[in-house]
Amino acid sequence: MIGRWLWAAVAGGLFGFGLVLSRMIDPRRVQGFLDLADWDPTLMLVMVSAVSTTMIGYRLVLKRPRPVVEDRFQLPTATAIDGRLAMGAVVFGLGWGLAGYCPGPALTAAVLGFREPLIVLAGVAAGSLLFDLYRRRAGRKPVR
């Protein structure tokens, strides 16, 4: 049990340290990347670096029959590129641009005592609850 949690904690630790080191907890950097009128490429460098590292690492790791502490790899199985995916990304991107915070940096910055991400996180919690309500209502509709 401890081993299981330790893997996750160390993984989270590297992730959080990386978010701070790369300045991604600064919402002005994030909005700067999204600002074509005065473009700041920092976020792009972070993404290119993180994605290429992960790509190489996943190739090696996924050759194993199973992960170290669990019995199987749990990779997403959905393949549909549909309206739900696109609408979700549009709404997410709207919020991301509006504040310059997404969930990872918001959580990390909140732990450092930053005030703004606390408000963002309150919104995230409300948005997630709203989604549960929406899905429950949407789930009832096709019955008729």
Partner 1 sequence: MIEGMPVFQALGGGVLIGLGAILLMLGEGRIAGISGILGGALTGERGDRGWRLAFLLGLGGGGFLASVLGLAAGAERTGYPMVLLLFAGLAVGFGARLGSGCTSGHGVCGCARLSPRSLVATLVFCSAGMLTVAALRMAEVLS
- Gap between the Cα atoms of 47 and 98, Å rounded: 20
Q: How far apart are the first and last CA of the chain?
A: 47
CB count within 10 Å of CB 25 equals 24
Q: Is there binding between residue 39 and partner 1 (CB under 8 A)?
A: yes
Residue 55 within binding range of partner 1, rule CB under 8 A: yes
The residue (of 104 and 142) whose beta carbon lies closer to partner 1 is 104
When asked if residue 100 is in the footprint of partner 1 (CB under 8 A), the reply is yes
Site for partner 1 contains 139 (CB under 8 A): no
How many chain residues touch partner 1 (CB under 8 A)?
112
Between CA 5 and CA 10 the distance in angstroms is 9
State yes or no: residue 143 binds partner 1 (CB under 8 A): no
For the bound state, the minimum distance from the C-beta of residue 143 to partner 1, rounded and expressed in Å, comes to 21
Does 76 engage in binding with partner 1 (CB under 8 A)? yes
User: Does 79 help bind partner 1 (rule: CB under 8 A)?
Assistant: yes
Contacts of 81 (CB under 8 A, 6+ apart): none
User: Considering beta carbons, is residue 68 or 143 the nearer one to partner 1?
Assistant: 68
Q: Are 46 and 24 in contact (CB under 8 A)?
A: yes
Q: Is 77 in the site for partner 1 (CB under 8 A)?
A: no
Residues 6+ apart with CB under 8 A from 19: 25, 104, 105, 108
Q: Which is nearer to partner 1, 39 or 139 (CB)?
A: 39
